[in-house]
Amino acid sequence: MTCFICKGNMTNSTTTYMEDLGNCIVIIKNVPCNKCTQCGEISYSGSTVKKIEAIINQLKNSLTEVAIVNYSAA
């Protein structure tokens, strides 16, 4: 697979995904991704995006300001 930005080589990797929901910041560690070895661009598979959305929906109404979750345990 080649990078959409720089046409570099994409390799399987993991990353940390963060999203600010306004009332809460969600940090998801060890998220599987494809990462460009040249520019660092990250892309996610469809199933990974669905799981990220499910994790965020679970935490949307939490009473905490910061939620840190491990992807594989969620």
What is the pLDDT at residue 21? 87
List Cβ neighbours of 57 (8 Å cut-off, separation of 6 or more): none
Query: Please, are residues 52 and 28 in contact by the beta-carbon 8 Å criterion?
Result: yes
Query: Which residues share a beta bridge with 15?
Result: 31
CATH T-level assignment (fold) for domain 10-73: Ubiquitin-like (UB roll) (3.10.20)
Q: Which of the two residues, 16 and 59, has the higher pLDDT score? A: 16
Domain ranges in the chain?
Answer: 10-73
Alpha-carbon distance of 27 to 21, in angstroms, equals: 11
Residue 66 pairs with which residues in a beta bridge? 25
> Strand 25-36 relative to strand 10-20: parallel, antiparallel, unpaired?
antiparallel
In this predicted model, what pLDDT tens digit does every residue of 22-61 receive, in sequence order? 888 999 999 999 999 999 999 999 999 999 999 999 888 7
